[in-house]
Amino acid sequence: MSKVAVITGASRGIGYETCKELAEEGYHVAAVARSEKPLKELANSYPDIYAIPTDLTKENEVDRLVTLLKKDFKSVDILINNAGSLINKSFEELTLDDWRAQLESNLISAVHITKKMLSLFNDSAHIVNISSMGGFQGSAKFPGLAAYSVSKGALSILTECLSVELSDKNIKANALCLGAVQTEMLEEAFPSIEAPLTANEMGNYIANFAIEGSTFYNGKILPVALEDPE
């Protein structure tokens, strides 16, 4: 029986590429995001990718997703919490609703899906949270990214907590703090920046880390960036 991976934020960018690599490595892949069309295109190109359109900020949609996962797969080996959004506004301009939206999409949605999936994880499953260098303690900080960076910092600390709380089930959790990757998120937020890595390069790295990383790491917050974190 093939192993099973669940990837959020699979409709474009890094998540889309991670799905393809995991399918090529022989995994059954549940691809999760809100946009149905690109997910369906992925599923049509790869017989082992299953499109599950879901808004992760909506409780009833996450419940429906987990019910479908339980029906279609006995258990899950890998969860990659990759879905995210970025609001680029100065601290002064950020509204409380902006803060809530960032925490909802980058932290609470990962908390919710992880909690709901607890009974589905295999012994030795690997949870990979996709964080950011902006949320890495001591890294260079950029104006406009307060809410985003804080949400990612919290996701990183959640990872450390999960590695302890889930150790009795032998479930491993690690966070990857990515540097700049050329995706639509980066282009929309910072049109003038040219990233040193493509979504395909980063997707391949994340897929392979999700498969092998839990042998070497648990509860770690790992920078994945070419630039110096300080």
Ligand X SMILES: NC(=O)c1ccc[n+]([C@@H]2O[C@H](COP(=O)([O-])OP(=O)(O)OC[C@H]3O[C@@H](n4cnc5c(N)ncnc54)[C@H](OP(=O)(O)O)[C@@H]3O)[C@@H](O)[C@H]2O)c1
**Cβ at position 23, least distance to ligand X in Å:** 16
Among 4, 5, 13, 49, binds ligand X (CB under 6 A): 13
Token digits of residue 157 = 């600390």
Whole-angstrom distance, CA of residue 142 vs CA of residue 155: 18
Choose between 151 and 218: whose C-beta lies nearer to ligand X.
151
Annotated active-site residue 148? The verdict is yes
Provide the strand spans (E) within the chain. 4-8, 28-33, 49-53, 76-81, 121-132, 172-178, 221-224
Residues in 165-224 at the binding interface with ligand X, rule: CB under 6 A: 178, 180-181, 183-186, 195, 199
Contact present, 4 and 75 (Cβ < 8 Å):
yes
Whole-angstrom distance, CA of residue 168 vs CA of residue 171: 8
Among candidate residues 50, 148, 205, 217, the one labeled active-site is 148
Among 40, 57, 98, 103, binds ligand X (CB under 6 A): 57
Among 25, 48, 55, 201, binds ligand X (CB under 6 A): 55
Whole-angstrom distance, CA of residue 47 vs CA of residue 120: 22
Residues that bind ligand X (CB under 6 A): 8-15, 33-35, 54-57, 82-85, 105, 109, 130, 132, 178, 180-181, 183-186, 195, 199
Just list the catalytic residues. 148
